[in-house]
Amino acid sequence: MPSTDRYAIYFAPAEDTTLWQFGINWLGRDPVTGQALSQPGVSVLTAGQLAAATESPRNYGFHATLKPPFHLADGFSPDDIRAAITDFSGGFPAFEAPPVSVQRIGRFQAFALTGPSPEMQGLAADCVTVFDRFRAPPSEAELAKRRARGLSERQESYLQQWGYPYVMEEFRFHMTMLGSTSDEAIHAAVTGYIAPRAAHFAEQPLAVDAICLYRQETTKAPFLLVERFPFRL
């Protein structure tokens, strides 16, 4: 049987960067320590409204997905995947991606790249393929959840092949700051708060010098950052 906990391979800014500090304080949780953090006050939103609107990204931890969450396949241990990530990251060159800005992505808001990045697309594709042997097949319930929003034919093909529909050319780098909502008042309030305070992030390239292993102990537990694996400089 596959493990009950889940793992994911994410990009996360280094912990000493202002982007990391901005992200974790906005979401209200530090994925390294698991500590709850006080979220900022946002005009026209109560603390409860902001907490509810950011509940999902807070649970996953501030990050950009490279290899989506998965249960370990039979025969593999956490040490196995840690060893594989160490080997991969040690040979992968660090690079700079375009700057990020807060952007509307459908019903979400996220920090997304301000321009194309073949290096980021390549990193995401490599993470999907290289580490796929560690992934247990998704359950029917997990597949149904992915299909609930409607998938294109290509996305359905990727779901069946890789366990997730938004990979390869369907991948878009993003660090979610607002969970799914159609409430335009919430979107306006969030944009009004984040945009002026995060404008400086769009002025400098995004350093991509490591990938991170995150772990979720149970389906109701938050993801925690297990280890950061530096790239070759």
Give the residue, 136 or 233, on which the prediction is more confident: 136
For residues 125 and 142, give the distance between their C-alpha atoms in angstroms, rounded to a whole number: 21
Give me the percent of the chain exceeding a pLDDT of 70.
99
What stretch of H or E contains 69? strand 64-71
What average pLDDT does the segment 120-135 reach? 98
What are the structural domains, with CATH classification, of the chain? 6-230 (3.90.1140.10)
- What are the pLDDT digits (tens) for 82-115? 999 999 999 999 999 999 999 999 999 999 999 9
What would the two tokens of residue 194 be? 């984040």
37 touches 107 (CB < 8 A): no
| pLDDT-based confidence at residue 3 (cuts at 50, 70, 90) | low
Give the residue, 219 or 16, on which the prediction is more confident: 16
Q: Is 44 exposed, middle or buried (0-12, 13-18, 19+ CB in 10 A)?
A: exposed
What would the two tokens of residue 48 be? 């409860």
Q: Is the pLDDT of residue 1 over 60?
A: no
pLDDT, residue 233, reads: 85
Runs of H (alpha helix) within the chain: 18-27, 47-53, 55-60, 78-90, 118-130, 140-147, 153-162, 184-198
Q: Is the pLDDT of residue 2 over 60?
A: no
